[in-house]
Amino acid sequence: MEFCKRVGVEGAILQLDSFGIELEIPPGAIDSEAPQDISLRVLTDTPNLGNDKEEISVCFGVQCLAPDDLVLKLPVTYTIPHCAVITRYSSVEAVLYTGEGEYSPDAVVKERIMLSRSGIPSCTITKDVLKLKMNHFSWMIVKIVKIVKLFRDIFFPEKRKCCRPFKEKNLALQKTPVILHAHLYDDIKGNSELVKFQEGEEDFVPAHMEQQVLIKAAEGDLKMTCNVKETVIGRPAVVSFEKLMSGARICEPFELDFTDQPDIVAVSLKVGQIETLQVNLLFRLDFSTPHRRERASPQDPGILV
């Protein structure tokens, strides 16, 4: 989540390998007699940064912490993975949200800047990564403008999300209620590990490998359904279009009843905005072995295996 390094006039590269984020400080950028402690931190939860419906969140935010009196003589470059699907990179516009001090969920945005491809600050977007040039240290996040006015009728960016269902580590003997967690998150490096760690803390394990889901900026809400042999079980979940465009990690819980199903049942989780974009995650739930109660003898009242 954070990487710290002492940096002098020779410059340095700070890397957050788990998230694919990099900060390049060129030689001569720091004009100081003594090396300075500089920290690079990933911001994985930035719900209050921007509320424009024409913007798409496609990457994590970053924060660089340095001494308050440190002045950059040369711009630094951030390399940040993104999950946007873009057919014409020259038509994409990006916006920068930035602020002072250490980031917190109630942080106040100091500046909202439309980014050009040259000058400082600037942003260059290519396949899977963007490069952001800055001349000061702060916290920041880049968002992509959803519809470029010049191409409003023909250019609609999309984004990649991932879906992954999690089941209880030890399924109970009874087949109701069974809780299933369906996660939806941006397809950027580090998100999968964050979700898996969160579910592990609650004794949930993956029920299926993560599956990529394409989100179209021109479409509407996303629907999730759990099915057994094409029959919907439980209440369908709907994820709003606004949440899809945000960078929030979404967890939709399903409460399911398998009373009338066999001990080993195949479950299908269908996810998509429209039927033609729907993905199907098929996995099984096994109720045949865990926590079965055997018939107790008078000498041994109650045995659990």
Q: Cα separation of 152 and 143, whole Å? A: 18
The pLDDT tens digits for 220-276 are 999 999 999 989 999 999 999 989 988 899 999 999 999 999 999 999 999 999 888
Q: Phi, psi at residue 112, to the nearest 5°?
A: -120, 115
Question: Thinking of the domain 160-286, which architecture would CATH place it in?
Answer: Sandwich (2.60)
Task: Identify the pLDDT of residue 297.
Answer: 43
CA nearest neighbour of 190 among 121, 249, 241, 277:
249
**Model confidence at 293: pLDDT above 50:** no
DSSP, res 247: -
Distances, alpha carbon 197 to alpha carbons 202, 206, 212, 300, in Å: 9, 11, 19, 39
67 close to 36: Cβ distance less than 8 angstroms = yes
Task: Identify the pLDDT of residue 50.
Answer: 65
Helix (H) or strand (E) holding 223: strand 222-228
Domain layout of the chain by residue ranges: 2-151, 160-286
Side chain identity at residue 119, one-letter code: G
Range of weakest confidence among 51-55, 146-150, 187-191: 146-150
Q: Residue 26: pLDDT band by 50, 70, 90 thresholds?
A: very high
Could you give the 3-state DSSP secondary structure of residue 287?
coil
**Model confidence at 141: pLDDT above 80:** yes
The pLDDT tens digits for 27-44 are 999 877 788 899 999 999
**Model confidence at 207: pLDDT above 70:** yes
Which tokens hold the place of 47? Answer: 């719900």
Sign of torsion, CA 58 16 7 64? positive
Residues 6+ away with beta carbon under 8 Å from 114: 93, 94, 95, 96
Asked if domains 2-151 and 160-286 share a fold, the reply is no
Q: What is the pTM of this model?
A: 0.87
Task: Identify the pLDDT of residue 290.
Answer: 55
Which tokens hold the place of 13? Answer: 């590269």
The pLDDT tens digits for 65-105 are 888 878 889 999 999 999 999 888 877 889 999 988 888 88
Residue 105: CA count within 13 A, CB half-sphere: 3
Q: Residue 187: pLDDT band by 50, 70, 90 thresholds?
A: very high
Task: Identify the pLDDT of residue 51.
Answer: 64
CATH 3.40.50.170 at 2-151, yes or no: no
Q: Cα separation of 202 and 9, whole Å? A: 47
Range of weakest confidence among 105-119, 239-253, 291-305: 291-305
Side chain identity at residue 78, one-letter code: Y
